[in-house]
Amino acid sequence: MRFLHTADWHIGKKLHDFSLAEDQTAAFDQIERLAKDYQVDAVVIAGDLYDRGLASEQAVEQLNGMLKQLNLNDHLPLLAISGNHDSAARLATGSEWFETTDFYLHTTLASAFEPVTIMDTQFFLLPFFNLQAVRNYFEQDVKTISQAMTLIVDQMKQLFDPDKKHVLVAHFFAAGSTHTDSEIQVEVGGLDAVPTTLLKDFDYVALGHLHNPRALNEERMRYSGSPLKFSVSEANLQKGVWIVDTNPFKLTWAPLQPKHDLIILEGSFDELTQGKIAAQYDQTQDYVAIRLTDTKLISDLMNRLRARYPKIVEIKRPNQQDDASIATMTMASHDPLMLLDEFYEKVHPDQQLDDQQRQWASAALTKVEEEEN
Amino acid sequence: MRFLHTADWHIGKKLHDFSLAEDQTAAFDQIERLAKDYQVDAVVIAGDLYDRGLASEQAVEQLNGMLKQLNLNDHLPLLAISGNHDSAARLATGSEWFETTDFYLHTTLASAFEPVTIMDTQFFLLPFFNLQAVRNYFEQDVKTISQAMTLIVDQMKQLFDPDKKHVLVAHFFAAGSTHTDSEIQVEVGGLDAVPTTLLKDFDYVALGHLHNPRALNEERMRYSGSPLKFSVSEANLQKGVWIVDTNPFKLTWAPLQPKHDLIILEGSFDELTQGKIAAQYDQTQDYVAIRLTDTKLISDLMNRLRARYPKIVEIKRPNQQDDASIATMTMASHDPLMLLDEFYEKVHPDQQLDDQQRQWASAALTKVEEEEN
Name the pLDDT band for A327 (thresholds 50, 70, 90). Answer: very low
Distance from CA of A49 to the nearest CA of B (A): 14
- HSE-up (13 A, CA, CB side) for residue A132: 5
Answer yes or no: do B307 and B343 share one domain.
no
Chain B, window 18-57: residues with a beta carbon less than 8 angstroms from a chain A beta carbon = 53-54, 57
Q: Tell me, what's the pLDDT at B299?
A: 87
Report the pLDDT averaged over residues B223-232: 96
| Nearest beta carbon to residue B68 from set A68, A89, A96 | A96
Using a 10 angstrom Cβ sphere, with 0-12 exposed, 13-18 middle and 19 or more buried, the burial of residue B203 is middle
Structurally, chain B folds into a number of domains equal to 3
Q: Tell me, what's the pLDDT at A325?
A: 37
User: A92 CB near a chain B CB, below 8 Å?
Assistant: yes
Separation between Cα atoms, residue A219 and residue A21, nearest integer Å: 33
Q: Tell me, what's the pLDDT at B350?
A: 61
Answer yes or no: do A26 and A157 share one domain.
yes
Say yes or no to pLDDT of A329 above 50: no
Separation between Cα atoms, residue A8 and residue B149, nearest integer Å: 44
Q: Tell me, what's the pLDDT at B221?
A: 96
Contact across the interface for A60 and B90, Cβ inside 8 Å? yes
Interface A–B counts its CB contacts (< 8 A) at 55
A82-111 confidence digits (pLDDT tens): 999 999 999 999 999 999 999 999 999 999
Q: Which residue has the higher pLDDT, B164 or A349?
A: B164
Separation between Cα atoms, residue A207 and residue A225, nearest integer Å: 8
Answer yes or no: do A153 and A190 share one domain.
yes
Which of chain A's residues have a Cβ under 8 Å away from the Cβ of B92? 61, 64
Which amino acid type is present at position B105?
A: L
A92 contacts A49 by C-beta, under 8 angstroms? no
B115-143 confidence digits (pLDDT tens): 999 999 999 999 999 999 999 999 999 98
B314 contacts B17 by C-beta, under 8 angstroms? no
Which chain A residue's Cα is nearest to B102?
A97
Distance from CA of A84 to the nearest CA of B (A): 15
Say yes or no to pLDDT of A44 above 80: yes
Angle at B47 between CA B44 and CA B49, to 5 degrees: 95
Report the range of poorest mean pLDDT among A194-198, B264-268, B327-331. Answer: B327-331
Q: Who contacts A151 (Cβ-Cβ below 8 Å, separation ≥6)?
A: A134, A138, A140, A142
Structural element, H or E, at residue A79: strand A78-81
Answer yes or no: do B110 and B177 share one domain.
yes
Q: Tell me, what's the pLDDT at B319?
A: 83
Report the range of poorest mean pLDDT among A195-199, A291-295, B174-178. Answer: B174-178
User: B139 CB near a chain A CB, below 8 Å?
Assistant: no
Which chain A residue's Cα is nearest to B65?
A93
Answer yes or no: do A235 and A300 share one domain.
no
Answer yes or no: do A86 and A42 share one domain.
yes
Separation between Cα atoms, residue B202 and residue B199, nearest integer Å: 6
Which of chain B's residues have a Cβ under 8 Å away from the Cβ of A98? 94, 97
Which chain B residue's Cα is nearest to A68?
B96
User: A90 CB near a chain B CB, below 8 Å?
Assistant: yes
Which chain B residue's Cα is nearest to A69?
B96
Q: Which residue has the higher pLDDT, B361 or B212?
A: B212
The bridge status of strand A42-45 relative to strand A2-6 is parallel
B232-259 confidence digits (pLDDT tens): 999 999 999 999 999 999 999 999 999 9
| Nearest beta carbon to residue B98 from set A54, A87, A97 | A97
Contact across the interface for B64 and A97, Cβ inside 8 Å? no
Rounded to the nearest 10 degrees, how much is the dihedral formed by the CA atoms of A336, A342, A348, A352?
Answer: 80
Answer yes or no: do A303 and A281 share one domain.
yes
Contact across the interface for B94 and A94, Cβ inside 8 Å? yes
Say yes or no to pLDDT of B322 above 60: no
Instruction: Among B209, B237, B255, give the residue marking a domain's end.
Output: B255
Name the pLDDT band for A16 (thresholds 50, 70, 90). Answer: confident
Distance from CA of A94 to the nearest CA of B (A): 5
Say yes or no to pLDDT of A41 above 70: yes
Report the range of poorest mean pLDDT among A73-77, A266-270, A364-368, B144-148. Answer: A364-368
Contact across the interface for A93 and B96, Cβ inside 8 Å? no
Answer yes or no: do B231 and B328 share one domain.
no
Q: Which residue has the higher pLDDT, A345 or B239?
A: B239
Say yes or no to pLDDT of B307 above 90: yes
User: Tell me, what CATH number does B31's domain have?
Assistant: 3.60.21.10
Contact across the interface for B60 and A89, Cβ inside 8 Å? yes
Contact across the interface for A93 and B60, Cβ inside 8 Å? yes
Q: Who contacts A28 (Cβ-Cβ below 8 Å, separation ≥6)?
A: A9, A66, A69, A227
The neighbour count for residue B286, using CB atoms within 10 Å, is: 16
Q: Tell me, what's the pLDDT at A223?
A: 97
Answer yes or no: do B244 and B311 share one domain.
no
Separation between Cα atoms, residue B193 and residue B149, nearest integer Å: 10
| Nearest beta carbon to residue A64 from set B54, B64, B93 | B93
Instruction: Among B255, B275, B296, give the residue marking a domain's end.
Output: B255
User: A104 CB near a chain B CB, below 8 Å?
Assistant: no
User: B255 CB near a chain A CB, below 8 Å?
Assistant: no
Separation between Cα atoms, residue B133 and residue B139, nearest integer Å: 10
User: B94 CB near a chain A CB, below 8 Å?
Assistant: yes
Contact across the interface for A98 and B93, Cβ inside 8 Å? no
Which of chain A's residues have a Cβ under 8 Å away from the Cβ of B97? 72, 94, 97-98, 100-101, 103
| Nearest beta carbon to residue A87 from set B57, B87, B100 | B57
The bridge status of strand B221-223 relative to strand B204-208 is parallel
Q: Tell me, what's the pLDDT at A338?
A: 63
Highest mean pLDDT among A137-151, A244-258, B330-344: A244-258
Instruction: Among A200, A222, A255, give the residue marking a domain's end.
Output: A255
A220 contacts A206 by C-beta, under 8 angstroms? no
User: A72 CB near a chain B CB, below 8 Å?
Assistant: yes
Residue B310 vs residues B19, B281, B283, B315, B321: alpha-carbon distances, Å: 13, 11, 6, 13, 27
| Rounded percentage of chain A residues whose pLDDT exceeds 70 | 86
| Interface with A, mutate which of B97, B100, B105, B107 (most A CBs under 10 A) | B97
Which of chain B's residues have a Cβ under 8 Å away from the Cβ of A96? 68, 72
B51-88 confidence digits (pLDDT tens): 999 999 999 999 999 999 999 999 999 999 999 999 99
| Rounded percentage of chain A residues whose pLDDT exceeds 90 | 73
User: B74 CB near a chain A CB, below 8 Å?
Assistant: no
Answer yes or no: do A92 and A239 share one domain.
yes
Structural domain range at position A56: 2-255
Answer yes or no: do B17 and B95 share one domain.
yes
Say yes or no to pLDDT of A332 above 90: no
Report the pLDDT averaged over residues A269-274: 94
User: A96 CB near a chain B CB, below 8 Å?
Assistant: yes
Contact across the interface for B101 and A103, Cβ inside 8 Å? no
Q: Tell me, what's the pLDDT at A65?
A: 98
Contact across the interface for A94 and B98, Cβ inside 8 Å? yes
Distance from CA of B169 to the nearest CA of A (A): 22
| Nearest beta carbon to residue B100 from set A60, A68, A100 | A100
Buried b (16+ CB within 10 A) or exposed e, B100-139: ebebbbbbbbebbbebbebeebbbbbbbbbbbebbeebbe
B174 strand-pairing partners: B194
Which chain B residue's Cα is nearest to A103?
B97
Contact across the interface for A94 and B92, Cβ inside 8 Å? no
Name the pLDDT band for A321 (thresholds 50, 70, 90). Answer: low
Name the pLDDT band for A118 (thresholds 50, 70, 90). Answer: very high
Answer yes or no: do B96 and B223 share one domain.
yes
Q: Tell me, what's the pLDDT at A141?
A: 93
Report the range of poorest mean pLDDT among A107-116, A249-258, A349-358, B194-203. Answer: A349-358
Report the pLDDT averaged over residues B172-183: 62
Name the pLDDT band for A175 (thresholds 50, 70, 90). Answer: confident
Q: Who contacts A307 (Cβ-Cβ below 8 Å, separation ≥6)?
A: none
Q: Interhelix angle for A145-158 vs A131-138, to 10°?
A: 50
User: A100 CB near a chain B CB, below 8 Å?
Assistant: yes
